């Protein structure tokens, strides 16, 4: 039972931050998320598939390193709009999209513990299935 409990805790801790991934108003960006940035009528200022670094930053043309770890997509859009508008553009229109979500990690009494790419509508059951299902020793009835 303790083994299954540790599986659940590991999965829940990993997935809880991406549980609302489809709702970018709530999803908090972090290391290994991949985003794209579009600045309306300024294609050279945009970014395609920029990976958030371990320090939680991205490098944006003209603006430099911008710390976005822990921010939502609308917060990053507002931050970049302000940074571009302060010194470079008049009324910039910035949009941010998430291209790839960071992976989740699962360990414990599953057949293939490890790192897996996040999928939309992820649940603990789906995560366990992706990891090959339970081992024979796992307790399937108690979390």
Q: Which of 71, 61, 128 is nearest to 92 (CA)?
A: 61
d(C-alpha 86, C-alpha 83), whole Å: 5
Given pLDDT bands bounded at 50, 70 and 90, which one contains residue 43? Answer: very high
Domain 34-100's class? alpha beta
- In the prediction, which pLDDT does 19 show? 44
Q: How far apart are the C-alpha atoms of 69 and 27, rounded to whole Å?
A: 11
More confident residue, 7 or 49: 49
What is the reported pLDDT for 3? 52
Whether 13 has a pLDDT exceeding 70, the answer reads no
| pLDDT given at position 23 | 62
Question: Which tokens hold the place of 74?
Answer: 């609308």
Structure tokens at 46: 């945009």
Closest alpha carbon to 36 in 92, 80, 84: 80
DSSP secondary-structure letter at 108?
Answer: S
User: What residues does each domain of the chain span?
Assistant: 2-21+105-130, 34-100
Structure tokens at 56: 């939680």
> What is the band of 25 on the pLDDT scale with cuts at 50, 70, 90?
confident
Question: What's the pLDDT tens digit per position in 55-100?
Answer: 999 999 999 999 999 999 999 999 999 999 998 899 999 999 999 9
Q: pTM of the prediction?
A: 0.72
């Amino acid at each position: 039972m303790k083994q299954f409990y540790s599986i659940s805790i590991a999965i829940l801790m990993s997935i809880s931050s991406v549980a609302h991934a489809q709702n970018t108003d709530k999803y908090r960006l972090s290391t290994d998320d991949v985003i794209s940035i579009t600045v309306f009528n300024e294609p050279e200022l945009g970014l395609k598939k920029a990976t958030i670094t371990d320090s939680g930053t991205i490098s944006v043309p003209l603006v430099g390193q911008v710390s976005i770890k822990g921010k939502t997509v609308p917060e990053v859009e507002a931050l970049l709009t302000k940074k571009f508008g302060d010194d470079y553009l008049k009324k910039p229109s910035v949009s941010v999209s998430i291209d790839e979500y960071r992976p989740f990690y699962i360990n414990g009494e599953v057949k293939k513990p490890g790192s897996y790419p996040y999928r939309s509508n992820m649940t603990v059951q789906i995560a366990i299935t992706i990891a090959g299902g339970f081992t024979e020793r796992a307790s399937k009835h108690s979390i």
